[in-house]
Structure 1
Amino acid sequence: MAKATFSDLISSEKPTFVDFSAEWCGPCKMMAPILEDLKSQVGDKARIIKIDIDRNPQAAAAYQVQSVPTLVLFKKGNVVWRQSGVVPTEYLKRIIDQHAL
């Protein structure tokens, strides 16, 4: 099976939560356990992916990611929510639940 492209992933019916991050970013490291927790709570309701802006500068540029971490929720290719910085699991779960209907 061919590997799904970024645009394939964000265009799906299922909400796709993207964490734009970087290896050198301290707050990005704080998001890792939050995203693990989020994944265990939302299960199949949403796809959660991490994009390293240094390895994927075109994706970061396409969505004007100026700072990391930048969290973006896509549904059917559209940005339905976006925020920069460290965000608690409960808040992220509420956002995903709103868009996973």
Structure 2
Amino acid sequence: MELTVEIIINSDEYVLINFKATNCDPCQMIEPTLQQVKNAIGKRIAIYVLDVNQVPNIVLKHKIKSVPMLVLFHKGEIVWQTKEILSKEEIIKYVVEYTN
């Protein structure tokens, strides 16, 4: 699984990943918001949700220290990240800002 995630992160496409944990209530709260973001701008970026316990090497490599953590990648580089719970509009604003 981690190899697949690395391929996705290193692609030419912008990729937004929600790093979460199963027992994290705020992590569950953001998932409907991410679905709304995907519905609004899904053609602009790919959106994935990853459980930190399933991809420990990715978590270490990219220094994910808390959950939920939204990370926008482009060509393997972190373009933007936040540990805040943001609204759909706020997430879209940042994605548009960093993908232009």
Q: Tell me if the contact between 2:80 and 2:98 (Cα under 8 Å) persists in the aligned partners.
A: no
Q: Structure 2: state its 5+ residue gaps.
A: none
The answer on whether the counterparts of 1:10 and 1:75 sit within 8 Å (CA) in structure 2 is yes
Instruction: Give the TM-score taking structure 2 as reference length.
Output: 0.90
Provide the rounded CA distance (Å) in 1 between the counterparts of 2:84 and 2:94. Answer: 15
Matches within 5 A, 1:20-35: 20-35=19-34
CA-CA distance at 1:100 after TM superposition: 3.1
Q: What is the SS of the residue equivalent to 1:29?
A: helix
- Please report the RMSD computed on the Cα atoms of aligned residues, expressed in angstroms: 1.3
Higher mean displacement: 82-91 or 21-30: 82-91
1:94 shift after superposition: 1.2
Tell me the TM-score normalized by structure 1.
0.89
- Give per-residue Cα distances to partners, 1:9-61, cap 9 Å, x unaligned: 11222210010001100100001101000000112100000110111111111
Partners of 2:72 and 2:51 in 1: CA distance: 16
Mean CA deviation greater in 52-61 or 14-23: 52-61
Q: Give the distance between the partners of 1:97 and 1:47, measured in 2 at CA.
A: 13
Alignment gaps of 5+ in structure 1:
none
Once the two structures are aligned, what percentage of the paired residues are identical? 29
The secondary structure found in structure 1 opposite 2:35 is: helix
CA contact (8 A) 1:21 1:70 kept: yes
Tell me the CA shift for residue 66 of structure 1.
1.3
4+ residue segments displaced more than 4 Å: none
Task: Indicate if the aligned counterparts of 1:68 and 1:85 stay in contact, CA closer than 8 A.
Answer: no
Report 1:1-101 matches (<5 A).
Answer: 5-101=4-100
Provide the C-alpha distance between the structure 2 equivalents of 1:72 and 1:97, rounded to a whole number of angstroms: 14
When the two structures are aligned, how many residues end up with a matched partner?
Answer: 98
